[in-house]
Amino acid sequence: MSDLNGFAGRHYTAGDFTRKPLSYLLEYQRILADLRDRDARILELGVSSGASLLVWKDYLPHGIIVGLDIDAMPQKIAGQDRIHFIRASQDDTAALDQAAAIAGGSFDLIVDDASHLGYLTKRSFLYLFPKLLKPGGTYAIEDFCTGFLPEYPDGSQWVEPPAFDTASGTRRFESHQFGMVGVVKQLIDHMARELITGQSSYLPIEKMTIRTNLALIEKSTLPAGPPPVRRPGDTDVPGQHHPDGDISALGADIRSLDRRLADLETVDIHRLARNIADLEKVTERISRVVGWLRPWRKMLRGFRAAK
């Protein structure tokens, strides 16, 4: 068997929960089919057992594969030719540059299967997509549904989007924005940039394919726009990396914020709506009283003038 799923069967052990689902493998096969006889370059963030790196290697006989993981190199890939390993966090830009230097240039395919946290996923994407992905290449963000998992540090409970929010004149249609789900949805705004502002984006996206849990972002062959400008309220501190230890603290912060947000969304907003309705009633009563007082005030003014 020379398809990706066949190779996956060879390299993943039975029951390995990190095994890429068939739907992902079929997409990757479509993307890589034309690269089989070329020295294609693949970078995968998140290596785990190393099985996926071996799958890429088998499928691409001339391919160069770089894996990057915060954990140590797995035994499975030790000594493998055409497979390189870097131990680093996915947002370590020096390590990302090193990956391209080892591979001999920009990548045809970059797969992010690492932390599955929004802020790290976005940092890697912002750095790699414009700089180290070839024009026409594909960037895959795997498992973005972690944003729907409340047990995940930056995830939050999936909420059914309203079906009947179509009152005439409705302008805002709510949707989930937590974690990687929010990151993926932001990319849609980037795609609209040139159309709306006439200015090309620093993330030159040609096309996005969204499957359940997998986003495939194809890079345009047109030049990118200028780099983003920092704005007041930006939360990122330039040059500061979050060591792994910070992630759980961040998770606790996010969960508590999340609870407060959920409270706001349910209790407070309803209370606010009731308050606004009460206020409207009071205002109506005041204006009725003012209207009722007007002839009396007129009479009083006439009375004073006559004195």
Ligand X SMILES: C[S@@+](CC[C@H](N)C(=O)[O-])C[C@H]1O[C@@H](n2cnc3c(N)ncnc32)[C@H](O)[C@@H]1O
Distances (CA, A) of 306 to 41, 293, 297: 97, 20, 14
Footprint of ligand X on 267-296 (CB under 6 A):
none
Q: Which is nearer to ligand X, 111 or 205 (CB)?
A: 111
| Listed ranges 63-71, 233-241, 266-274, 278-286: which one lies at the site for ligand X (CB under 6 A) | 63-71
The amino acid at residue 290 is V
Counts of helices then strands in the chain (DSSP H, E): 8, 7
Q: For ligand X, which is the closer residue by CB, 7 or 190? A: 7
Smallest distance from ligand X to CB 36, Å: 20
Q: How far is CA 174 from CA 83, 160, 165, in A?
A: 44, 10, 9
Contact 121, 183 (CB under 8 A): yes
Residues 46, 63, 155, 179: which binds ligand X (CB under 6 A)?
A: 46
Minimum CB separation of residue 80 from ligand X in Å reads 14
Residue 27 or 113 with smaller CB distance to ligand X: 113
Residue type, position 180, single letter: M
Binding to ligand X (CB under 6 A) within 69-128 occurs at 69-71, 89-90, 113-115, 120
Q: Of 72 and 306, which has the nearer Cβ to ligand X?
A: 72
- Do 87 and 73 form a contact (C-beta atoms < 8 A)? yes
Min separation Cβ 193 and ligand X, Å? 28
| Residue 235 C-alpha from the chain's centroid | 16
User: SS in 3 state form for 151-166?
Assistant: CCCCCCCCCCCCCCCC
Q: How many residues lie near ligand X (CB under 6 A)? A: 20
Task: Tell which one of 5, 52, 138, 201 touches ligand X (CB under 6 A).
Answer: 52
Q: Which residue, among 149, 158, 151, 125, has the nearest Cα to 139 in the 3D structure?
A: 125
CB of 69 to ligand X, least distance (A): 5
Which CB atom, from 155 or from 204, has the smaller least distance to ligand X? 155
Shorter beta-carbon distance to ligand X: residue 51 or 184 = 51
Q: How far is the CB of 157 from ligand X (least distance, A)?
A: 22
State the binding string over 17-36 for ligand X (x if CB under 6 A, else -): -x-x----------------
Q: Which stretch binds ligand X (CB under 6 A): 41-49, 152-160, 178-186, 209-217?
A: 41-49
Helix/strand/coil (H/E/C) assignment for every residue in 185-233:
HHHHHHHHHHHHHCCCCCCCEEEEEEECCEEEEEECCCCCCCCCCCCCC
Q: Which is nearer to ligand X, 100 or 205 (CB)?
A: 100
Cα separation, 109 vs 133, in Å, equals 7
Stretch that binds ligand X, among 64-72, 227-235, 275-283, 295-303 (CB under 6 A): 64-72
Question: Can you tell me the distance from the alpha carbon of 159 to that of 182, in angstroms, rounded to the nearest whole number?
Answer: 14
* 70 vs 208 by CB, closer to ligand X: 70
- Span near ligand X by CB under 6 A; candidates 62-70, 158-166, 225-233, 299-307: 62-70
Q: In what order do the strands lie in the sheet with 214-219?
A: 83-87, 64-69, 41-45, 107-112, 133-142, 214-219, 205-211
Residues at the contact surface with ligand X, assessed by CB under 6 A: 18, 20, 44-49, 51-52, 68-71, 89-90, 113-115, 120
